[in-house]
Amino acid sequence: MTEYSHVEMIAFTGSRVLEDETIVFVGTGLPIVSAVHAQYTHAPGLLMIYEAGSLAPILDMGMPLSVGDTRAARRATFLKGLCGAFELTQRGYADYAFIGGAQIDMYGNVCSTLQGEEYGKPRVRFPGSGGAGAMAANCERTIAIMALEKRRFVKQLDFVTSIGFGDGSPDYREKAGVMGSGPYRVITNQALFGFDEETRRMKLLEVKPGVTPEDVQELVEFELIIPDDVKEMAEPTEEDLRLLREIDSEGYFLKRQFKK
C-alpha cells in the first residue's frame, strides 16, 4: 500500500460517499478534489454546483482553486451567478451540500465563524459561512469535512453557522423553516460518522485501520453512538492516489497539514 497523508484520506473518503447520478454543491478545497475524483471513478454522472453560479462545468482546464474560479464556469450547463446557484438548492436541485467547518456538535450543527464566548472579541475569527449556511439549510443532505480533534468535536458550539439537527428534536428543521433531511456524513482523517435516525446524534460508522472506536471517542467531547458493527475505512489504492494528486497537481489542498 502506497503511503498517503491524512488529507488524502479525507479527500478519498469524500469521494467514496458521493453517489452517481446526483448533484453536489461543493465548497472550496477538498470537496472539489473529492467530487472530481468521484467523477473519474465510480460516479461519472455526478454533477457539481459552484457558488459563483455554475452547474455541471467541464473541468478540462484544470481544477478550480475556488468556487469563483473562472474554470468552474467552463462549458457549464447553467451559469446564472450566485443567486441562481442558491435558487437551484431552494428548488430542490442539490442532493448534497459538501462543506468544511471549524467546530461540529453531536447534532451536526457546524461553526465556521469564531472561537470564543464574545462575538465582538473572539479568540479566533474564522472565514465565516460563505455559502455554507444556506447550503446546509437548503440542500437535501449535508456532508462535512474536518480533522478529528477534540477542539473541533465539541459539546457546545461557540456560534452556529450552518444548521444541522439543532437541539436534536424531531421537528427542529421544519420549525426553523429549512429544507432537506439534514446532516448525512462527517468525514475525518481517522473516522467516518453518520447520524442516528431516531436521536439524530452523531454515530460512528467506520474507523481507519489501526484505530479503535475508543481511540475516536477520546478525540470527541460528546458521547458518540458506537454500534457493534463499526467497519474499517477503505484506504485509497495507488490508482486513487495517482488520480487525487493529478487532480490537485500543485498540492494546493492535498499538501495542507494538520494534527493527527
State the Cα torsion 195-199-202-203 to the nearest 10°: -70
Phi and psi (nearest 5°) for 132? -65, -35
CB burial class (10 A; 0-12, 13-18, 19+) of residue 78? middle
User: Grid coordinates in use for 192?
Assistant: 467516518
| 51 is known as an active-site residue | yes
CB burial class (10 A; 0-12, 13-18, 19+) of residue 202? buried
- Catalytic, out of 3, 8, 51, 214: 51
In a 13 Å sphere around the CA of 12, the CA atoms on its Cβ side amount to: 23
What amino acid positions are annotated as catalytic residues?
A: 51
